[in-house]
Amino acid sequence: MVAQVVRRVAVSRVLAALAAVNMAPQWAPALPTPPPEALKLAAARAKAASLVVDLPSLGADDLQIYVPQLASLSFKPAPAQLRAIAPKLDVRASDLAADLEEHVAKLSAAGRAQSADAAKAEAAAVLKDLDEALALAAAAFAMPAAKGSDSFDMTSYFGVFTCEGVGLERKPDSNECIQPAK
């Protein structure tokens, strides 16, 4: 047991020393700061992801009010924002803006028609289009990292200081470490 801990500590020190070495090329040019339109696309993407999660819990009356309002306030400006930065992006950006505009219109119509299944499909399509737009923008601009990750991996966050990092197991639904079952 002690030998395992000593070995893990030695390995973690070697890995920490390797991680401290800056291996990025110093001559690489920095990407330009994203324009406000690209940041607004990122905000619209966050709202689209939230809508995809919230749609199953919406009732028919809520669907008729919430979805069209959200589509018109958050998603309807997105195609114009994408067209504004399209000259700086890949050639696919113009076609993507047209697709996004079509999916936003269909999402709004599905909400007004109280069609939950159609609204779910169109919300997923809007989210996919916004993801593609942000991928194109990330190739041209230094886009900020997406906010709101749904999963937290304790092992990757704490590394060797987790229960698993020292050869133990985590007791279910607690922060207590226990000896692994043999």
Question: Rounded CA gap, 85 and 143, in Å?
Answer: 13
Rg, C-alpha atoms of the chain:
23
Question: Rounded CA gap, 146 and 59, in Å?
Answer: 29
- Looking at the predicted structure, is the pLDDT value of residue 129 above 80? yes
CATH number of the domain located at residue range(s) 36-140 in this protein: 1.20.120.290
Structure tokens at 128: 């996919």
Name 8's Cβ contacts closer than 8 Å, sequence gap at least 6. 160, 165, 166, 167
Three-state DSSP class for 169? strand
Lowest-pLDDT choice from 70-74, 122-126, 170-174: 170-174
Q: Where are the domains of the chain?
A: 36-140, 152-182
- Looking at the predicted structure, is the pLDDT value of residue 77 above 60? yes
N-terminal to C-terminal alpha carbon distance within the chain: 14
Share of the chain above pLDDT 90, in %: 45
The torsion defined by the Cα of 124, 125, 129 and 132, in degrees rounded to 10, comes to 60
Confidence of residue 149 (pLDDT cuts 50, 70, 90): very low
Question: Rounded CA gap, 161 and 150, in Å?
Answer: 22
Greatest alpha-carbon span in the chain: 67
- Looking at the predicted structure, is the pLDDT value of residue 37 above 90? yes
Q: What is the mean pLDDT of residues 42-55?
A: 92
Q: Which residue has the higher pLDDT, 166 or 128?
A: 128
Give tens-digit pLDDT for 87-119.
Answer: 998 889 999 999 999 999 999 999 999 999 999
Three-state DSSP class for 178? strand
